[in-house]
A and B are shown apart, each in its own frame.
Chain A
Amino acid sequence: MSFTRRQVFGLTIGAAAFVAAGSRVSFAATDQTEEAIKAFTGGAEPKEGTVSLDTPEIAENGNTVPVGVSVDSPMTTDSFVESVLILADGNPNPAVATFHFTAMSGVAEAKTRIRLAKTQNVIAVAKMNDGSTFIDRKEVKVTIGGCGG
């Protein structure tokens, strides 16, 4: 089977369009993650530090990945952590959970189990009662994805 000049052109353009469409889809999740962070912080760029994520380096089963988050804060009525947003940038929908703390929490720490579709970054953004924000990212390698099925 041989191609005419016209067919070759058509194929090349088609393939290029396909690749472009594909890359747009994969970028969408990252954009959504950035948007979610912006919406949470109110447009401010969060600083590194203070908040720390505790995730396994390799998760064998993406259906239940233990994730812990802790924020360095005195947790008094004057200075406490208001909320912590957990995101997973490679999931179909990056939002995972939002923890809301109060001064009665004593320590700003929480643990839960989450689903990860593939190897990706897990992101924690903490918001203090004075409005300052902090961020931490950890990569988690996933052997078997936890979405669809």
Chain B
Amino acid sequence: MADPKPRVKVPKKAAAGEVITIKTLISHPMESGQRKDKQGNLIPRQIINKFTCEFNGQVVFSCDMDPAVSANPYMEFNAKVNESGTFKFTWVDDDGSVYASENKITVE
């Protein structure tokens, strides 16, 4: 499996107090644990079970995921920005690995 690669879309600039839309996508098979291989053995579950978005250290949005979330999980949500800062996104895999991405935003 290729290393999961996060892709995040955050506007570079925003007005103070504006509600912005953030789109995130990460490449991951989200193996549900229901599928069988050619020999009829169950393929073990391996999904991203937790996604968190933080702004300047404060949690804005988070999501617990179950195997029913599609492969390459996509998330679209909103955030209200009052000051310039950094958005930090983290994805937690079933095997304990953590994938992270950061985006800066300037508030005028």
Known: A104-B55, A110-B75, A149-B35. A64 touches B70 (CB 8 A): yes
A111 interface contact, C-beta 8 A: yes
- Of A18-26, A85-93, A134-142, the stretch lying at the interface with chain B is A85-93
Residues B60 and A97 in contact, CB atoms below 8 Å apart: no
Q: Is the interface of B mostly helix, strand, loop or mixed?
A: strand
Residues B19 and A93 in contact, CB atoms below 8 Å apart: no
Q: Given the complex, which residues of A lie within 8 Å of B61, measured CB to CB? A: 99-102, 105, 110
> Measuring CB to CB, which residues of chain A are less than 8 angstroms from any residue of chain B?
63-65, 68, 75, 88, 91-93, 95-102, 104-107, 109-116, 146-149
> Measuring CB to CB, which residues of chain B are less than 8 angstroms from any residue of chain A?
19-20, 32, 34-36, 55, 58-71, 73-80
Residues B19 and A110 in contact, CB atoms below 8 Å apart: no
Residues B74 and A102 in contact, CB atoms below 8 Å apart: no
Q: What separation, in Å, do the CA atoms of A65 and B35 have in the docked complex?
A: 18
